[in-house]
Amino acid sequence: MSARQAVAKTYKLYLGGAFVRSESGRTDPIGGVNVPRGSRKDVRDAVKAARAAAPGWAKKTAYNRGQVLYRFAEALESRSDRSDEIDEAVDLLVHYAGWTDKLAAVMGGVNPVAAPFLSFSSPEPTGVVAVLAPDSPDVLGLVREIAPALAAGNTVVAVVSRTKPLRPLDLGEVAGVSDIPGGVLNLLSGRLDELLTPLCGHRDVNAIIDATYDDDVAKTVDELAAETVKRVSRPSPHTDSLTRLEPLVELKTAWHPVGS
Amino acid sequence: MSRSLTPVNRVGVEERAAALGRRSIKTTAKREGIRLATSMIDLTTLEGSDTPGKVRHLCAKAVCPDPSRPELPSCAAVCVYPSLVGVAAAALEGSGVAVASVATGFPAGQTSLKVKVDETREAVAAGASEIDMVISRDAYLRGDDRTVAREIEAVKEACGSAHLKVILETAELPTYAHVRHASELAIAAGADVIKTSTGKASSGATPGVVLVMLEVVRDHFERTGRVVGVKAAGGVSTTKAALHMLVLVKETLGDEWLTPDRFRIGASSLLNDLLMQYAKLDGGHYGRAEDFSKE
C-alpha cells in the first residue's frame, strides 16, 4: 500500500463569520505554509462586518453573551492540540464569560447626588474594538485581549501574531463552530506595517487594544488614535480583568427626576 | 393583441455590463466620478412617514451635500410624494435643484387614468418640474401596449412643461426583451427620461437592465436624433455601484450623456457613501456612517 498523501491546510482569514483568502490574493510563507497576508481592503471588510454585527451583539442579554463565551471555551477545550497555554486560554474565556452579567453591577449603579434626582450609571459597549495581539504567546496573548472586549459587548477586529499566526487563525475555526455570531470576532493575519494605518486610522473603530509591547507601534497607534479620536489601552499580561474591561465600555449616566 | 419582441442576448448583456464594472477607478478619476455622480442624484424620500421637516432637511442636503466640502456640486433634484411637493419647492427655490414628484398611483400604478392625470396636474401645479410616473404593469403584462402608451401620452400632456420620467419597474418585467420593448414603447409615447424602478420592488437598477435601456436610448438617438435621458433607481447605494453606472453610460452613449440633464441616479443612501468615500480621498482615514446626517 502506498504512503498516504498528506493534506496541506489552506489557512484563511476569519471575516464576518466566513473563512476567506486575503482580498489581495497575497500570502506569506510562515512555518512551511502559506498564511494570508491581509490588505487594507481586508481591514475595511473586517471593520464593516464588525460594525454590522455590533448592534446585535450589544443587544443580547449579558447572560446570553456569557453563555456564548462559555460555549467558545467549550469548543476550544475540545480541540486535540491542547497544551498548558490553551488550557489557560480556556480558563480565561470561562472567567470573562462570568464577567458579562457582573459588569453593570461593578461599574455602574446608583450615584449619590445632592439633589432631588435619581442618578444612575450603566456601562454600554464602546463598539468596534481593534486588537493588536502580541507575537507571543500566540493564542493566549490573543484570547487575553479579545475575551474582555467580547464580554463587554464589543465586536472585535484582531490582528493576530505576525510570527506565529497559524494557531490564532485556527482559533477562528473554534469561534466559527461555537455560538459567536458572524462578524463579532474577525481575525486578520499579515504585516503590522500594512495593517496598522488602515485599522487604527479607521473612523469606524472605537477603541484599540495595543498588546504589541512595541514603542514604534505605540507611537503610530497613538497618533492615528488621536487623529480619529479613539481610546487606546495597553494592558500588560498581568493587568487585572476590571482594568482591562474599563476602557472597553462607555458609562451612560441618566438623571431621573423623582417627585417630592 | 400580439407584440413582437426584439430578442436580447441575456448572457451577452450581463457579461458586458459586469465587465464594465471591473475597472479600477482611483484617486483623481474617483474624485471626479464622485462629484459627477453627486450632481446626478435625484435625492429621494418616498416613505409613508415623510414629514415636511424631513423633506426640508433633505432639500438642504441636496443643495449642499457636505457643508464642510462646499466644492461638491448640488444634487440634480429632490424626489418626493405629491403631497410634499409644495414644501420641497419652497425649500429649493432659487437653488437650481429641481423638484421631482412621483405620481400616477406610485408605486403600483393601480388607479384609473383620471386619478393619474389629476395627480400629475396637482404635482405640477404645486411646483414639480419633473414627474416620475409608473407604467401600468397590469396592462403591460396583459399585452395591452395601447393602454400603456395612451396613459403615458395623457400624463405627458398633463405635465405641460414639466419633464416626464417613465418608470418601467423592470423587476416586474419578465425578460430583457420586455425591458427593451417597454423602453421603446415609453420613448415613442413621449417619455423624456426612462427610469428603471420604483425602488419598492425586489430588485432595482441592475447593470444589465441599465445597459439594455441605455442601448435603446442610443439606438433611438441614432435613428431620430432625439435625446432621451435615463434614470437608474433602486439598489444603487454604493460609490462602486454609482461609478459602475457612469462607466455604462460613457461606454454606451459617450461623454455627452454624462450630465445630469441626460443621466440620473435615484437614490437616498448613496449620497452618504459618496460623501464618505470623498472624505477618505481628502483625509486619508476611512470614515463612518454617523459622520454624515441621514437626511
For residue B126, the domain's CATH number is: 3.20.20.70
By C-alpha distance, the chain B residue nearest A201 is B285
Residues 6+ away with beta carbon under 8 Å from A5 = none
Asked if A203 lies within 8 A of B284 by C-beta distance, the reply is no
pLDDT tops 80 at residue B24: yes
| Interhelix angle B52-63/B85-92, nearest 10 degrees | 40
How far B247 CA sits from the closest chain A CA (Å)? 22
- Chain-chain contact of B288 with A227 (C-beta, under 8 angstroms): no
Residue with cell 486610522: A201
Q: How far is B244 from chain A (nearest CA, A)?
A: 19
CA distance A204 to chain B (A): 5
Catalytic residue positions of B, numbered: 132, 195, 231
Most A CBs within 10 A among B275, B286, B291, B292, hence the mutation to make, goes to B286
Residue B219 lies in a domain: yes
pLDDT at B1: 52
Contacting residues of B for A220, CB less than 8 Å apart? none
CB contact under 8 A, A204 and B285: no
What are the tens digits of pLDDT across the range A22-59?
999 999 999 889 999 999 999 999 999 999 999 999 99
* Domain that residue B84 falls in: 10-291
Q: Which residues of A touch B291 (CB under 8 A)?
A: 203
Question: What's the pLDDT tens digit per position in B115-135?
Answer: 999 999 999 999 999 999 999
Residue ranges of chain B whose CB lies within 8 Å of a chain A CB: 284-289, 291
- C-alpha distances in Å from residue A204, one per residue of A51, A182, A187, A208, A223: 7, 18, 17, 11, 16
Could A203 and B287 be called an inter-chain contact, meaning their C-beta atoms sit closer than 8 Å?
yes
Residues of chain B positioned with their CB less than 8 A from the CB of A204: 286-289
User: Residue A57 is inside which H or E element, if any?
Assistant: helix A40-59
Cβ pair B284:A44 closer than 8 A: no
B215-227 pLDDT, tens digit per residue, is 999 999 999 999 9
The stretch A100-110 carries a mean pLDDT of 95
Distance from CA of B65 to the nearest CA of A (A): 20
Is residue B162 assigned to a domain? yes
- Name the packing angle between helices B10-19 and B207-224 (round to 10°): 100
Q: Do A202 and B289 touch (CB under 8 A)?
A: no
Give B46's pLDDT tier (boundaries 50, 70, 90).
very high
Residues of B whose CB is below 8 A from A47: 286
Specify the pLDDT at position A259. Answer: 57
Q: Could you say which DSSP state residue A5 is in? A: P
Q: What secondary structure, in 3-state letters, does A34-45 show?
A: EEECCCHHHHHH
B25 Cα to chain A: minimum distance (Å): 15
Specify the residue for cell string 512555518.
A31
How confident is the prediction for chain B on average, in pLDDT?
Answer: 95
Three-class DSSP labels, A100-158: CCCHHHHHCEEECCCCCEEEEEEEEECCEEEEECCCCCHHHHHHHHHHHHHHCCCEEEE
Residue of B nearest to A45 (CA): B286
Chain B residue with CA closest to A229: the answer is B285
CA B152-B117-B154 angle, 5° bins: 35
Domain locations along chain A: 39-257
Q: What is the rounded CA–CA span in Å between residue A117 and residue A129?
A: 34
pLDDT tens digits along B56-100: 999 999 999 999 999 999 999 999 999 999 999 999 999 999 999
CA dist., res. A188 & res. A180, Å (int): 17
CB atoms within 10 A of CB A238: 5
Give the N- to C-terminal CA distance of chain B in Å, as an integer.
Answer: 47
How many beta-carbon contacts under 8 Å exist across A and B? 23
Q: How many CB atoms lie within 10 A of CB A177?
A: 11
| Residue ranges of chain A whose CB lies within 8 Å of a chain B CB | 44, 47, 51, 198, 201-204, 224, 227-228
Please report, as a single letter, which amino acid is at residue A97: A
Mean residue pLDDT of chain A comes to 95
> pLDDT tens digit string along B233-275?
999 999 999 999 999 999 999 999 999 999 999 999 999 999 9
Residue with cell 435603446: B216
Q: What is the pLDDT, as a whole number, of residue A7?
A: 86
For A39-257, CATH gives 3.40.605.10
The pLDDT of residue B286:
87
For residue B289, the chain A residue with the least C-alpha distance is A204
B293 falls in which pLDDT band (50, 70, 90)? confident
**Chain A partners of B288 at a C-beta cutoff of 8 Å?**
51, 202-204
Q: Is B3 a member of any domain?
A: no
- Rounded alpha-carbon distances, angstroms, from residue B193 to A110, B16, B124, B233, B271: 62, 23, 17, 12, 21
Q: How many domains, chain B?
A: 1
User: Are B231 and B265 contacting, i.e. CB atoms less than 8 angstroms apart?
Assistant: yes
Return the SS3 of A7: coil
CA distance B288 to chain A (A): 5
Which residue is closest to B279 within chain A, CA to CA? A203
Interface test with chain B among A204, A221, A224, by most B beta carbons within 10 Å:
A204
pLDDT of residue A31: 85
B287 with A201: Cβ contact below 8 A: no
DSSP state of A10: -
